[in-house]
Amino acid sequence: MRYNLGSFPNARNLGERNLTAKNGSATATRAKASDEPDQLPRDLLTREEYLELFRQLYLARYFDVRLIKEKKKGRLTGTLYSSHNQEAVLVGSLFGLRPNDWISPIHRDMPAFFMKDLRSGWDNPDRMGMTIEEVCAQVWCKAGSPGRARDNWSHIGKKAKHIIHSTSMLAGTIPVAAGVAYADKLDGGDTVVVTYNGEGSTAQGVFHEAINFAAVHKLAVVTIIENNQWAYGTPTHLGYPLEDYARRADGYGIPGFIADGQDVFDVYDKVMQAVAWGRSGKGPSIVECKTFRAYGHGDHDDDRAAKYRPPHEVEEGRARDPIAIAKKVLLEKGYISESESTLYQAEGKSAGQTTDEDFPPEVVAYLKRGVDYALKSPAPAAEEGERWVFRV
């Protein structure tokens, strides 16, 4: 139980106070090393927090690996959009949020639903995130899901936990996020809304219409662009003519950060700067996280993806495993020892190559709880199909 750090105290204002005014102009914020503040948000993290970030990477990976295996065995219905190799984007962006901040995850962000506000304690019932039980019930298409299995997979949310519900229509949650932020601003609040969006989906008109609205009203909306190099079977150069999707920000005069999406600490740094920007009333921003989709678009696409993506590209894209990168940082900082670093070796392995031994036991146990609950949860009763069209 090496990385088991128990419950975390309620989130403190990690790193946000550290933002200097240097990021005041849109052009200065495109993260070049020279533009970065003297002290990075990560510099304010304790050893325990470093270790917790690390452990959360394992949790996100294990969740994905487990679902891939369950899906292969035919135990799940619907499509699994794997977040394998993209975990640092989720973990790094969620870690520093305050419990009351809002998020809007989409298809590839399934772990985000239960990883929101994990810092308030994995088992804390008042935590501002979904429980692992709720998320597993959803994946298993059971009535125990917050959406009672009415819509599939990531199309869930929870108002009380400040998680916005998405539809399938890509980028469709961004105007909703802007509306949430507007209402909060009107009420004098200082919560931030973090939205997730694939790079391909930035081509949707509503993406731009929403960010424009947010920019006009200086709303605290942080849009994370998960640039995993592929939008289904379409490579990035056919989706956007520029290399950096962060430049989408330029047209709205808002900051556009670029993070190494494989490096959880870099994601943390950039998102915290963007969050601080929003929280201080300066408006929306974009954080492009450069990453790589490990598998097919969805599990149905694995075989075809192996044909339309050049093998060397896939090999390179998967070579920088976020768990390995974080592990190296922890070693360098002396936060874990050489021998501790070899305890769990999930990195660099495909889902099928991993076993439970490759993950911290508390991570395995956490998910088991969710799965056990899901298996026991009943299917929704047929009559529910006609309920809730209107409020009665």
Ligand X SMILES: Cc1ncc(C[n+]2csc(CCOP(=O)(O)OP(=O)(O)O)c2C)c(N)n1
Which spans of this chain sit near other proteins (rule: CB under 8 A)? 77-78, 141-143, 149-152, 155, 167-170, 200-201, 203-206, 231-235, 238-240, 304, 308, 379-386, 389
Residue 226 found at the interface with ligand X (CB under 6 A): yes
3-state helix, strand, coil in the chain (%, to 5): 50, 10, 45
Q: How far is the CB of 237 from Mg ion (least distance, A)?
A: 13
Pick 333 or 376: Cβ nearer other proteins = 376
Q: Which residue, 305 or 367, has its beta carbon nearer to other proteins?
A: 305
Q: How far is the CB of 212 from ligand X (least distance, A)?
A: 19
Answer yes or no whether residue 200 interacts with ligand X by CB under 6 A.
yes
In the numeric block, which tokens belong to residue 32?
């070049």
**Bridge partners for 351 per DSSP:** none
| Shortest Å, Cβ 235 to ligand X | 10
Interacting partner of 39 out of other proteins, Mg ion, ligand X, none (Cβ under 5 to 8 A depending on kind) = none
Q: How far is the CB of 167 from Mg ion (least distance, A)?
A: 18
Among 170, 177, 224, 264, binds ligand X (CB under 6 A): 170
191 vs 97: CA distance, rounded Å: 9
Closest residue (Cβ) to ligand X?
198
Binding of ligand X by 231 (CB under 6 A): yes
Q: Which residue lies nearer to ligand X by CB, 248 or 293?
A: 293
- Comparing CB distances to ligand X, the nearer of 169 and 242 is 169
Query: What CA–CA distance (Å, rounded) separates 168 from 166?
Result: 7
By CB under 6 A, residue 195 contacts ligand X:
no
| Contact flag: residue 54 with ligand X (CB under 6 A) | no
CB closer to Mg ion out of 158 and 309? 309
Closest CA to 157 of 103, 209, 120: 103
Q: Is 201 in the site for ligand X (CB under 6 A)?
A: yes
Backbone φ/ψ region at 6: left (φ over 0), alpha (ψ -120 to 50), beta:
left
Q: Is 109 among the residues that bind ligand X (CB under 6 A)?
A: no
321 backbone dihedrals φ, ψ, rounded to 5°: -70, 125
Q: d(Cα 21, Cα 277) in Å, to the nearest integer?
A: 9
CA dihedral 369, 372, 378, 380 (to 10 degrees): 50
Strands 230-231 and 234-235: antiparallel
Concatenating the DSSP letter of every residue in 265-283 gives HHHHHHHHHHHHHHHTT--
Buried b (16+ CB within 10 A) or exposed e, 342-362: eebbbbeeebeebeeebbbeb
Residue 214: name the closest of 288, 287, 283, 286 by CA: 283
Nearer to other proteins, 171 or 274 (CB): 171
168 in contact with ligand X (CB under 6 A): yes
- Does 108 help bind ligand X (rule: CB under 6 A)? yes
Q: Which two tokens stand for residue 139?
A: 């994946």
Q: Pick the closest to residue 1 from 337, 362, 364, 368 (CA basis).
A: 362
- Are the C-beta atoms of 209 and 182 separated by less than 8 Å? no
Q: Minimum Å distance from CB 350 to ligand X? A: 19
Could you say which of 293, 309, 320, 327 contacts ligand X (CB under 6 A)?
A: 293
Nearer to ligand X, 96 or 200 (CB): 200
Closest distance between ligand X and the C-beta of residue 353, in Å? 23
Q: How far is the CB of 211 from other proteins (least distance, A)?
A: 15
Residue 111 makes contact with ligand X by CB under 6 A: no
Positions touching ligand X (CB under 6 A) are 107-108, 168-170, 198-201, 226, 228, 230-232, 293, 297
